[in-house]
Amino acid sequence: MVTGPKLGVLGNEITDFSIKKIQIENGMAAFNENIHFPLRPMIGVIGVAPHEGEVNCGTPGEHGGNMDTTLITEGATLYFPVFHEGALFSLGDVHASMGDGEVCVSGVEIPAKVTVVLNVIKEQTIHTPVVENQDGFAFIVSKPTLDEAAEGAVKEMVHYLAKRSGLPVSDVTMLLSAAGDVQVSQIVDPLRTARMFVPKSIVHQLGIKEIF
């Protein structure tokens, strides 16, 4: 792991760069002699080519990229809008463990082998990445501020559920306020990333059997 000046949330308070090597043994990360915690493997950067121009791998957006979302782990399904023929999919920035926010600008960075299965879903349109796991699913939005990202993720989810369920926007908004969760993905990249998560139990009660 690494942190230092101008990196992460405390970058204005930390004066020197600091590097910590984390030992990985038996499914645990050894932060130091006294602190050990279970691994939470996840992929930090994953996505397709952006709609226009070029983007560095440290910046998230509607194409995916450096979303640093802890739900992107083994068994998850990700949906991306596709802007170019072949999608130009790529991934990297794998972590043995990372907390929501990635507040120091680094998780437990580690080399990894990742197996993915790619499918094309036709006649469907999304504006931003979606992640699904056995517990539920979330719209992921990246914007200049965390407030904008959170609001964007909520709006994407509300309009998706309203369209698929037939409920009015007011009902869906109340439902999310009672049973959904706005979650922080990361607060240290050029754009901030948030997600709106809804449990599968709610989705099924709305009559939605498949996300897409």
181 contact partners, CB below 8 Å, separation of at least 6: 196, 197, 198
Long-range contacts, 115-123 (Cβ 8 Å, 24+): 116/91, 118/87, 118/89, 120/82, 121/79, 121/212
Q: Which pLDDT tens digit goes with each residue over 8-21?
A: 999 999 999 999 99
Q: Which CATH class is domain 130-205?
A: alpha beta
| DSSP bridge pairs for 22 | none
Q: How confident is the model at residue 64 (pLDDT cuts 50, 70, 90)?
A: very high
The residue-averaged pLDDT of 82-107 equals 97
Strands (E), 126-175: 130-132, 136-143
Please give the pLDDT value at position 178: 98
190 contact partners, CB below 8 Å, separation of at least 6: 58, 59
The residue-averaged pLDDT of 60-85 equals 97
The residue-averaged pLDDT of 172-190 equals 98
Please give the pLDDT value at position 45: 98
Q: Which pLDDT tens digit goes with each residue over 120-132?
A: 999 999 999 999 9
Please give the pLDDT value at position 76: 98
Q: Where are the domains of the chain?
A: 130-205
Q: How many CB atoms lie within 10 A of CB 13?
A: 8
Q: How many CB atoms lie within 10 A of CB 21?
A: 7
Q: How confident is the model at residue 108 (pLDDT cuts 50, 70, 90)?
A: very high
- Average pLDDT over all residues of the chain: 97
